[in-house]
Every structure is written in C-alpha cells, then in structure tokens.
Amino acid sequence: MRTQVVIIGAGPAGLLLGQLLARAGIETVILERASSEYVLGRVRAGVLEQGAVRLLDEAGAASRLHREGLPHDGFSLAFDGRDHRIDLFGLTGSRVTVYGQTEVTRDLMEARDAIGAVSIYEAANVQPQDFDGENPFVTYEKDGVTHRIDCDFIAGCDGFHGVSRKSVPQDAIREFERVYPFGWLGLLAEVPPVSHELIYANHPRGFALCSMRSATRSRYYVQCTLEDRVEAWSDDRFWDELRRRLPVAHAEALVTGPSFEKSIAPLRSFVAEPMRFGRLFLAGDAAHIVPPTGAKGLNLAASDVHYLSDALREFYTEKSMAGIDAYSARALARVWKAVRFSWSMTTMLHRFPDGGAFGQRIQEAELDYLIHSRAAATALAENYVGLPY
Ligand code: APR
Ligand code: PHB
C-alpha cells in the first residue's frame, strides 16, 4: 500500500491531523494499536481553547461542539475559605469551551468515517522505518499478517508511550522531565456541577478541582499521594474529602451521587526536542506531557497539528520545505510556554510533601498577588485561554 502521510495513533492529535490534511487534499492512513471502543473509553480533560475550537471547525468536526459545548467566561480560585473569580473574558476578551475530550475524539472519528479515509485499528507492532531518507515506510501486523505502507512522511501522534519517539536514536533526541510527588484522583458522576464555572482549590489538605461535562454531569478531582489506590477510595470517602477542601458554601451545595468512573493519574511535565527527525514528526503527547492543572494537553496537541498540517500543505502545494524545516522550532516555542504555565499552576495550587513552611508562604503570596493585581490576573487568564497561534 502507498499513501502520502502515515499517521500513527488515533487520539485527538492523529485524528485532527488526518482531517486537516484531508481538507487540503492530502491522503493519510491512520494506524492505531487499540480498538476504537478502547480509544473512546478513555476519560481525559475537557477544556478547549478558542484555537482548538477553530481547528475543529476547520476539520469539519465541530457542529456538536457548538451545540453542546459550554462557553466559560471565567473560573474560580478558591483558597482561605473563599472564592476569587478570574474573569477570563473581561481580562482577555476570550473564553474557553468545556466539552469532553472523549466527545472531541468521537466527533473526529465520525468526520473521518464520513470522508471514507482509511483507519486501521488494532494494528500491532507498528514500526516507522527509514525516516532519515527520502522513502520512509511503516510496517504493522494485523490478524497475524505483516503489512507495509510506503509514504512521504510519518506523523508520530501515538502518545507518551508510543513507538515513534522510541524509534529515534537516543543521541538525536533530548528529553526534559519533571515528575510531581502526587497524583489526581478523578471521579465522574451524573450529578449537576456544584458551580456553573470551574473551581480550582488550594487547601491545606491538598488541591481539588470541580469541573463538569454538562449541566447534569460533573467531573471532580482531589490531589492524592502516589501510593494511593483507587480501591481504597469509596465514593463516600471521595465526596467527604472534596467537601473538606472547598469553601463552605460550595461544600454545602455539593450534590453527590454514585460515580461511574474513578481513576488516579500521576502528574508529569515532559518535553522531547526536536519534534522532527527527517521525515518523521512528533505531535501531541508523543512529544510532550503537561500536568492537567492548566488543561493544556489536548490544546497543545491542537497547536502542534496546526503547525504540522500547514507545513505539509505548503510542501504539497508549493513544493516548499520551509514549513517542514520550521515545524519543530515553531511548535516547541508554544509548547514550552504551556509547559511553563502548567508547571506554575501546579506549583501554585498543590500541597508539596517537601514544600515546607517556606513553600507555603510563597504560594500564599502568589495567590494574594494574583487577586490584587490586574496585571498578574491578566497574565494567568491570557495563558489559560491559550496563547495565540
Ligand atoms: N502503535 C499505534 N498506535 C499507538 C501506539 C503504537 N505503538 N502507541 C500508542 N498508540 C495510540 C494510543 O493507543 C492512542 O490512541 O496512539 C494514541 C495516542 O493518543 P493520545 O494518548 O490521546 O495522545 P494525543 O492524540 O497526542 O492526545 C493529546 O489528548 O489524549 C489526550 O492526554 C492526551 O491531553 C492529551 C491530548
Ligand atoms: C476536566 O474537566 O477533566 C478538567 C478541567 C480542567 C482541568 C483539568 C481537567 O484543568
């Protein structure tokens, strides 16, 4: 088989890239290790920057998002027993849209099916090959048979544990990492959200976040230890802990109910440089991970895909390598700003086991500065709604 671009991974990055390239008349094949049901079963964050919404529009996958997505003009920072609103729209003229990433993935899969583009799910042992030369190809196994797809380019959109980054010789890649000494325990329940906006809470017992998927479905998180196990957290224990970390008015208004998903995620910041190796590109989680505190994971995947789809379009329509040569530097310039922002939100809001009294006072000073300085609040808001691209 031959195609123009082989995309490894059918997460949001791979699927969005496939749609944007299709719109430019570029043919792709997506190779995904898991089944589509498995991909759609993963629960992830749910806050979209306007740039990501614009790209989903361009991808022809945003009609449900426009119907069901919840526009949010602000969010709340809760500490010292009180709420402090960050007026995103007032400070930046921009807002975010709350819409589950699972739904984004579903919409993109449906859009791809509608144009009849090829996606091969349950493709085993996917291997990008010869990407340092002019004639790359990808091999994979399906139902015990080995296949080969020749192509012009390979897009590694296969997440943090994917094969693409691992296929690059170690001395050609530099990795930067910070692992945080805690995790997030998250719960989904069919209950109305405690507030119409998100609440990020800094509390002596640890961070908490109140988010939502719709007017009737809530997503809540509490900071937990790395040793914590989901089995040790009954729903009741979770709700009690969440209540303790919220200002009294929210704790009293919290509607609880049985969870239908509960899981623990570790927090990490990670960047691989560069994001291009000859004819292999990395995009999304394959190249970088951010802690979920700023909700930047999917949004960064979207900006990578924007730069990459532009570069490939330029190559096919103008026979120019300029965009391709610039891809890694362009993407990384934005990536590092989101990595910095996610790290700083994480550092400001969590309890660090080794933070000590000094760390505590620094957090208090930072939060106090944020709510009293329009400049500081604007900097936070500008990053939260997403830097331009
Ligand atoms: N071969 C084929 N597919 C693979 C392989 C492989 N060896 N390894 C991983 N994959 C697939 C995974 O099964 C997954 O479906 O690649 C996909 C990667 O998707 P994500 O992990 O969702 O990564 P990405 O698309 O970059 O998403 C960016 O969305 O999913 C979130 O946390 C993620 O917020 C981040 C954003
Ligand atoms: C979520 O809704 O899951 C969510 C929202 C905001 C975040 C992280 C996760 O910062």
Instruction: Identify the weakest region by mean pLDDT among 40-44, 169-173, 350-354.
Output: 40-44
Distance between Cα 158 and ligand 1 center (Å): 4
Q: How far is the CA of 348 from the centre of ligand 1 (A)?
A: 28
From the candidate CATH numbers 3.50.50.60, 3.40.50.620, 1.20.120.420, 3.40.50.1370, the one assigned to the domain spanning 5-70+98-176+268-346 = 3.50.50.60
Known catalytic residues are: 72, 200, 292, 296, 384
CA of 178 to the centre of ligand 1 (A): 20
Instruction: Please tell me if the CB atom of residue 224 comes closer than 6 angstroms to any atom of ligand 2.
Output: no
- Per-residue confidence at 6, pLDDT binned at 50, 70, 90? very high
Could you report the per-residue pLDDT of 327-355, keeping only the tens digit for each?
A: 999 999 999 999 999 999 999 999 999 98
Ligand lying nearest the CA atom of residue 261: 2
pLDDT reading at 255 higher than 90: yes
Q: Is the CB of residue 183 below 6 angstroms from any atom belonging to ligand 2?
A: no
Q: Residue 39 Cα, ligand 1 centroid: separation in angstroms?
A: 8
Indicate which ligand has the atom closest to the C-alpha of 207. 2
Residue 42 pLDDT greater than 90, yes or no: no
* Nearest alpha carbon, ligand 1 atom 19: 11
- Give the position, in ligand 1's atom list, of the atom nearest the Cα of 31: 2
User: Does the model's pTM come out above 0.85?
Assistant: yes
Which of the four pLDDT bands, split at 50, 70 and 90, describes residue 113?
Answer: very high
Q: Confidence band (pLDDT; 50, 70, 90) for 45? A: confident
Residue 44's pLDDT is what? 82
Mean pLDDT of the chain: 97
The torsion angles phi and psi of 351, rounded to 5 degrees, stand at -90, 120
pLDDT of residue 9: 98
Indicate the fold that domain 181-267+352-385 takes in CATH.
D-Amino Acid Oxidase; Chain A, domain 2 (3.30.9)
Domain limits of the chain? Answer: 5-70+98-176+268-346, 181-267+352-385
Judged against a pLDDT cut of 90, whether residue 116 lies above it is answered with yes
8 lines ligand 1 (CB under 6 A): yes
